[in-house]
Structure 1
Amino acid sequence: MSRLATVFADITPRAVSAGLMVALVGYASSVAIVIQGLRAVGASGADIASALLLLGLAKGAVAIGLSLVTRMPVSIAWTTPGLALLISVGGTAGGFADAVGAFILAGLMIAFAGLWPRLGALVVAIPKPIASAMLAGVLLKLCLAPFIALKALPVTAGAVILVWLILMRFARSAAVPVAALVALVSTIALAPPGTYDGVLQWPQVTLTTPTFSLEATVSLALPLFFVTMASQNITGLAVLATFGYHLKTSLAFVSTGLASVVIAPFGAPTVNLAAVTAALAAGPDAGPDPQKRYVAAVFSGIGYIMLALIAGLAAATVTRAPPLLIEAVAGLALIGAFSNAALAALNDETVRLSAAITFLTTASGLSIAGIGSAFLGLVFGLLVMGIERWPRQNI
């Protein structure tokens, strides 16, 4: 059987629905942050539309390529923590051209990081209970969303949860996509007249000549690199590892770093490994056979490309949808992954305390110097494990 025929044979409805859910959740949960982050560094409306188009195409192409090459469910995302950082830092004297130069430098640094093999070895060496605790902490907020939404949006959230619950009993593979469809249809139906006028126009590409300055390098490029690596790439590798996938850092970082360099002149910030949505494609909801779950990531890439081509409509819909409603759908899809991660984290009594510290730190949302709670959870958990295992005679 040819390689292409094997891919087609591996396609299942569960993998397709999980992959499209990755794209929907990845887009809907943070596109507003992308828009605000780009505005903060001086992007115009045309620059933002161009960035959304190129980001979608890049995420799709890299996800499809890496997943097919590695036969692993490699989900790709934009740097949400990095864009949140841009909002807090703001622009520089050189305007958006400086920011574009910073995007290029950050992409180059990510690519160079891929040439450091010890980084991959360090990620693989993370004890599974600690990595599982980090994953559980990452997923907790989303898994709480359906119940929080039920209080804030009782009618629409109640309809979404009821549809999901019924289909989980009678048509499990359709439960999440149909629940997502209910959420989107209700959003569009409740939108004021004229909300979607003109949003189906083909997105235009704008080219920005980059400029490079010491100010932008120090205030934008370096922080963007460190935050993206700590909060997205290393976390994404650890999430994949909890499901038994050990992705080569060289392949992951070089490909995402170079893709970021290519799209930066069109106004787009960096792309990287997904963290939260990675569990959707890598977990059992994408299919019972771990060797075939790469198909879910392939379809996440297809979903991102589709969203990029209708960037106006996609942005109009998801920015008008109550974020909690979209997060509720994601939370329903991730309950299984959360329960498995929590069990793996706390099952081993010898590391239960350090795993609990990792889980609680990650779930807390703590951020220090732009470094997110997931990475800090790993650090604190490993620190506690080291203290517990330190020989008493050395104390």
Structure 2
Amino acid sequence: MMQNLGATDGQISSGLLAVCFGIGLTTFFLAYTTKAPITIAWSTPGAALIAGAFAAGEGDSELFSHAMGAFLITGVLLIATGLVRPLADLVAKIPGEIAQAMLAGFLLAYCTEPFLNLASNPWLAGPVIAVWLIALWKAPRWAIPAAFVASLVVIAFNFNTEAVDDVILLPHLEFVVPAIDAASIVNIALPLYLVTMASQNLPGLAILKAYDYKLPWKRAMVSTGFMSSVAALFGGLTINLAAISAALSAGSESGVKHLRRWRSAMWSGSTYLVLGLLCSVVVLVISAAPSEVFSTLAGLALVGTFSGSVAGAWKNPAEHSRMPAAVTFIIAASGLTIFGIGAAIWSIAGGLIVRGIILARKQKEEDKIAQEHADHQ
């Protein structure tokens, strides 16, 4: 994606270092000051949006400067969002079952990847799944670490050695002079902001709420917006509240007590700092390894979280709870995108609309019964 924007290899390495350190430091700050498992990530849907917009690969240094200017503006917009109280009040009212259903729908595609890979590439996905199943039987808590080790073994046997030629492995930063104009704001900053809010920040907030954690909205938005703007000066992507990894840290599958799960987020932040220092090596391994191995491992790691989300979404038998949860799950799983807004926000909106209709109908029925009872008296 950054190549399509006209970035050089050095600028790509610099951007990865900047964004990893931004994520790690912001995660440290939020998790430690709130004692909640708040994790930060880069905007994967936003990156996909930008990659699609510049898929032709005709970028140059001027376009890259304008893109970084747009990323800087996106950070400013995130800061402004944290200062607008009505938005925080609105998202805080999302019912828990809708948040859980959204998460389950969002996770479905990831959780199917291991088994789709098993069908298409059994020699790559099969060993990882087999080790996971054996560990799940013998030592459930070590199932994912065992699958990770199996993944490394599979990668070792399928490593593309040609990818290691002429690679500079030392981390470094390169300053980028951002250029700001109306076209880059409209074509990059605004779509990136909308996608980041719809697909990352709002789901991230809802997920923490679903696990009974409170998020300081202002602090989270201002800190992520600030670090996004700083990272843009060195070629980095926009950062935001994590959705998937937030569920991994906040869920009971972590094996940590509820009040201590913030430490899991701290470990996540530490991992990003290490990745920042090893960004060139990480990019090298990922580019030289089969993509099926990583998607298989990620999918297996999220099966437990998916199970818990499904249970939470449908634990309340009431119609005003289960029907909205079902609609939320279906929309989230569909991958729907309208007006640049992803399925996460549309699923929550759909669930809230259905919930409102059902509650309004029930209230009307109760009012009618009450009126009939009053007339008889």
Number of the residue aligned with 1:172: 140
What 5-or-longer segments of structure 2 have no aligned partner? 366-377
Q: Work out the percentage of aligned pairs sharing the same amino acid.
A: 40
CA offset at residue 170 of structure 1? 2.9
* Cα distance change on mapping 1:70 and 1:142 into 2, 3 Å: same
Deviations 1:189-232 (A, max 9, x none): 31133433454620232111111111111111111111111111
Q: 385, 388, 392: which one pairs with 2:355?
A: 385
1:21-70 deviation line (CA, Å, top 9, x unaligned):
xxxxxxxxxxxxxxxx2223222222111111111111111112211111
- Letter of the 2:78 partner, please give it: I
Q: Which residue of 1 aligns with 2:31?
A: 67
Corresponding position of 2:267: 299
The CA deviation string for residues 81-128 of structure 1, in whole angstroms up to 9 with x for no partner, is: 111121233369941111111111110110111112232222221111
Match of 1:284 in 2: 252
| Separation of aligned partners in 2, 1:100 and 1:235 | 25
- Counterpart Cα distance in 1 of 2:358 and 2:161: 61
Letter in 2 for 1:369: F
In 2, the alpha carbon distance for the partners of 1:319 and 1:206 equals 22
Does residue 84 of the first structure (1) align with residue 55 of the second (2)? no
- Please show how residues 210-249 of structure 1 align to structure 2 within 5 Å: 210-249=178-217
Q: What RMSD in Å do the two structures reach over aligned CA positions?
A: 2.0
192 and 340 in structure 1: CA distance in 2 versus 1, 3 angstrom threshold: closer
Q: Aligned partner of 1:77: which letter?
A: A
Please tell me the residue identity of whatever aligns with 1:209.
V
Distance 1:170 1:265, change over 3 A: same
The residue identity in structure 1 corresponding to 2:194 is F
CA–CA distance in 2 between the matches of 1:198 and 1:185? 25
Paired amino acid for 1:386: G
TM-score by length of 1: 0.86
The aligned runs of 1:200-215 (5 Å cut-off) are 201-215=169-183
Q: Which has the larger radius of gyration?
A: 2
Aligned partners of 1:99 and 1:220 also within 8 Å: yes
2:6 to 42, 46, 50: 42
Contact 1:196 / 1:313 at 8 angstroms: preserved in 2?
no
TM-score, reference length from structure 2? 0.90
1:38–1:83: 8 Å Cα contact kept in structure 2?
A: no
2:345 aligned residue (375, 380, 383): 375
SS where residue 381 of structure 1 aligns?
Answer: helix
Q: Is the 8 A contact 2:327 2:347 kept in 1?
A: yes
Q: Which of 84-93 and 124-133 deviates more?
A: 84-93
Q: Distance in 2 between matches of 1:384 and 1:266?
A: 45
Q: Measure how far apart 1:147 and its partner are.
A: 1.3
1:122 aligns with 2:86: no
Counterpart of 1:64, as a letter, is F
Give the length in aligned residue pairs.
359
